[in-house]
Chains A and B, each alone.
Chain A
């Protein structure tokens, strides 16, 4: 029982140390760029917005900060109407076709 107790406690302390290391690494490196994610989001939306209308309410941004790599996910919901505009544009430019008719 004692051994399990000891083992369990060590495991949770190690988990704490690891979580803090990852978190503080990100917080320290963020420095003056703490708002990097909102900035990236605005830039990405502006770039996409040049081609198709994007409703900023239909955008979800997620991050998962990892040890070596962080993942930034930006989900943009494109309505069917937007989809049709997009299809019309791509076909007008001769894009999106698999081969000559």
Chain B
């Protein structure tokens, strides 16, 4: 039975889609069966980040409306055969996303996958609310920046009040993924440091993803960063986070591309 995980943030542009794709690919490369669902109806981008934009025939809305079967809408990744994508509709109204429909899709996916990763749209409206509603736990993606942390706090409030788990009186597990982190600037006091963010949000930390040019390189080519350059700092950070999701104890460090001579000599060549 799958773990259903929502990747959410409130604020846009903090790295939800990048993180959903990178973690999904990292888990799938370890042999887990993973499906990543794009909930951003009207503004889908997960297909582009995962390099499947030319292959989308059916999407989540087709499945919800019964135009296509789930098996017809799942797009298998060309690099890892246990990784699947369920795209969002680019053309439909976001009102076509219904609570019953989303619940049915997730219920149908649970038995055949180990992980169902729901990539939430930004904001707190219908798409975001439905992406989190049926999740077992949440990954809150935040940047060390005031507006992102404020929006994350708002999202944590919604996770605790509007999800099915919350409505059933169960605690909703939430983890923080801090992205675009620059340890040097944080050390100089120019950026909120990890502890500052944790003090405010008060949820456990799943991982710290360092700011890196590899993230843009990866999205340029439509490859999750954990596959495009697995030895790069963000890829190692995402791989560690994926292992923690599976329950492994992995020491929390911020990987860097700059610290070792070996990285300098061979890091780029792995790309």
Q: Which residues of A contact B (CB under 8 A)?
A: 1, 4-5, 8-9, 12-13, 15-16, 19, 22-23, 26-27, 30, 34-35, 37-38, 56-57, 59-66
Are A13 and B72 also in contact (CB < 8 A) when A1-B268, A8-B268 are?
Answer: no
Q: Which residues of B contact A (CB under 8 A)?
A: 48, 53-58, 62, 67-69, 71-72, 90-91, 213, 216-217, 219-222, 264, 268-269, 271
CA distance in complex: A57, B71 (Å): 9
CB neighbours of A30 from chain B (8 A): 91
Flag if A38 contacts B54 (CB, 8 Å): no
Flag if A23 contacts B55 (CB, 8 Å): no
Are A38 and B67 also in contact (CB < 8 A) when A12-B217, A22-B54 are?
Answer: yes
Flag if B54 contacts A66 (CB, 8 Å): yes
Flag if A12 contacts B220 (CB, 8 Å): yes
Are A27 and B54 also in contact (CB < 8 A) when A12-B217, A38-B67, A61-B72 are?
Answer: no
Q: Quick one: closest B residue to A60, CB to CB?
A: B72
Flag if B57 contacts A23 (CB, 8 Å): no
Flag if B62 contacts A38 (CB, 8 Å): yes
B217: shortest Cβ distance to chain A, in Å?
Answer: 5
CA distance in complex: A35, B210 (Å): 40
Q: Quick one: closest B residue to A72, CB to CB?
A: B57
Flag if B220 contacts A63 (CB, 8 Å): no
CA distance in complex: A37, B72 (Å): 13
Q: Which of A16, A26, A57, A65 contacts B221 (CB 8 A)?
A: A16
CB neighbours of B90 from chain A (8 A): 27, 34
